A = this chain, B = another copy of it.
Amino acid sequence: MNHRDRVRHRAPAETGGPPTRTVTLDDIARLVGVSRATVSNAYNRPDQLSTALRDRILGAARDLGYPGPDPAARSLRRGVAASVGVVLTETLSYAFSDSAAIAFLHGLTRRLEAHGLSVLLIPASPRRDAAAVRDAIVDGFVVYSMPDDDQHVSAIRRRNLPTVFVDQPRQSGSPFVGVDNLPAAREAARHLVDLGHRRLGVVSFPCRSDGHRGLADEDRQASPTRAVTRDRLAGYRAAAEAAGIAWIDVPVEERLRSDAAEGFDAGIALLTRPDPPTGILAMSDHLALGVIDAADHLGLDVPGDVSVVGFDDIPRAARWDPPLTTVQQPLTERGEVAGDLLLEALQHPGSEAPTRVLPTALVLRGSTALARTSDRR
């Protein structure tokens, strides 16, 4: 705080004004004896001034310790941020423990960095207000699987910037990329039914963001706030009912996060029921792998005693013991497509908002098998 007016010419901030920079364009201009415009040009348009003068300016800037043109001021004036905001389900750090989210970010950044765009990861946990979204200095947004009623999403809508929605209901006029969750989940469930399983169980994402952990009653199942949850649940149910299984008899264990620990917990809960399921549908591979661990822990064989189906096909799924039967979706590609769509929207603001639905495929591996004859009823 002491040698600040080594450079500063105006009066020192007296009444605690806004935090001031130590050196500005103005200071350089004054020192060299040229106009601000020329200093600006020295940085941004080297062809607009003689090399001699430019060197003199840049030299003076170095001497004064000038940090270069202030990015905020530049962004304000130019109207461009050169960055893209990303908002993900749950907390920010959670994204780095979820393979699916990581793969998505991998694809997304691959596309965006090719255009020199930075990626702003915005904290958007349900408990925080939307200040971070309002203050995000970005040219556009990517919204990844957020609850429908989330305040961050509505704050983003209000920002009125190009926005790509991933795996959630598309908003009018905004590009969308995702998979068709309902039929994909239905196929997974039908697979179990076809193998003769009649007693099913589900490990689900949260239906609401109220921190509930345990069985989801009819009421909760009625309207999950995230589209992914809603659609997969509906898919499971459709296949079950098509096979004549009463949905009310299918326990749905709701868990807060998508990780193996939660999956384990849910697996224990399901498999220690009086009449335990012989086929379990998990909404993610992380959860499914936890369920397999739980079966293991209880001395049950997978797939001998219980079959397990996941969702996502993360790399680890194929290497697990037993290898996981799961619904494959193009995780990285989703990110790439999201990047492409956003770049397109940034370049042609008024254009049509495309919808890209990516394919899924049920991958049969070792975690599912025919139900025991005795269980088929």
The residues of A with any CB-CB pair to B shorter than 8 Å are 1, 18-22, 65, 67-83, 85, 91-93, 95-97, 102-103, 105-107, 109-110, 112-113, 116-123, 125, 128, 131-132, 134-137, 158-161, 350
Contact = CB atoms under 8 A, between A and B. Distances in A.
A71 B158 CA distance: 13
Given A19-B78, A20-B79, 9 more contacts: A75-B135, A92-B109, A96-B103, A96-B106, A97-B106, A109-B123, A116-B131, A116-B132, A118-B121
Q: Which of A20, A67, A76, A137: most chain B CB closer than 10 A?
A: A137
A283 to B, nearest CB: 22
Nearest to A75: B72
A96 to B, nearest CB: 4
This chain: copies in complex: 2
Counting from the closest, the 4 A-B pairs by CB-CB distance are: A19-B79, A96-B106, A113-B123, A93-B110
Nearest to A128: B116
A116 B134 CA distance: 12
Contacts of A83: 120, 136-137
Given A20-B79, A97-B106, A113-B93, A121 B119 contact: yes
A80 B19 contact: yes
A203 B121 CA distance: 34
Contacts of A77: 18
Contacts of A103: 96
6 contacts: A68-B134, A72-B76, A96-B105, A116-B123, A116-B132, A120-B120
Contact of A102 (B67, B72, B102, B136): B102
Contacts of A112: 92, 123
B136 A118 contact: yes
A18 B78 CA distance: 6
B67 A350 contact: no
Given A73-B76, A81-B137, A120 B123 contact: no
